[in-house]
Structures are given as structure tokens and as C-alpha cells.
Amino acid sequence: MNIARNTAIDETRSKAYKNSRKNLSTTNFVDILASSDSLNKMTNAIGIKKFVDALKPACIKIIDLLYFKGYTQVEASKTLEIPLGTLKTRNRTCINELRVMVLG
């Protein structure tokens, strides 16, 4: 019985088991992308969209790609054709501007 218990513990602590628990099916993401209209409605419902729309156009593009469309920073920098470090700096600046707007 102890051998079976220890084997089960070893399996749940293994890297392969942990990775298999992290990986989600792609159907979850396809459903999210297919329902992007509902995502826009959800952001409107919490009121953040009006604050984002008040930002500079460059900030709107960055926040839209990173937070609403789920791009990674590398993907967003390639899409916007700007260096990764520049994207990170602009993102931080835009989020700070958004924070000031929301918190007053």
C-alpha cells in the first residue's frame, strides 16, 4: 500500500503532471476569441472602456492588443513594428495614465 501511495505522490509531484495540468484545451481560447463582442460588452459593463478610449491612440492600440486581445508583448511588438523594450515602456506609461484617470 505504501508503494502505491508513494508512486502516486511521485507522479503528482512530477514536472510532466504539473505541465499537463497547466495546459488547457485550445477550444477554450477559440470560444473566447469567437465571442469577442461579449468581451467588449463586459469591458463596457465594468466601465473601463471609456477610460481606455480617452487615452492617446498609441496607448489604445497597445492596451487593446495586450489586454483585450491577449497578445504577448513579443507578438504586440511585432504587430506594431516597435522594439520590445519600447513596447514595455509605453505599456507601463499607458497603464500609469489609465491608473491616474481611474483613481482621479
What are the pLDDT digits (tens) for 28-49? 555 555 555 555 555 565 677 7
Q: Report the C-alpha gap between 33 and 24 in whole angstroms.
A: 15
**pLDDT given at position 60:** 92
The pLDDT of residue 4 is above 60: yes
Burial 42-57 (b: 16+ CB within 10 A, else e): ebeeeebeebbeebee
Per-residue pLDDT tens for 56-98? 999 999 998 998 888 999 999 999 999 999 999 999 999 999 8
Q: Alpha-carbon distance 70 to 3, whole Å?
A: 44
pTM value?
0.57
pLDDT of res. 35: 54
Q: With contact defined as beta carbons under 8 Å apart, do 88 and 56 qualify? A: no
pLDDT of residue 76: 94
Domains of the chain: 2-103 (1.10.10.10)
pLDDT of residue 46: 66
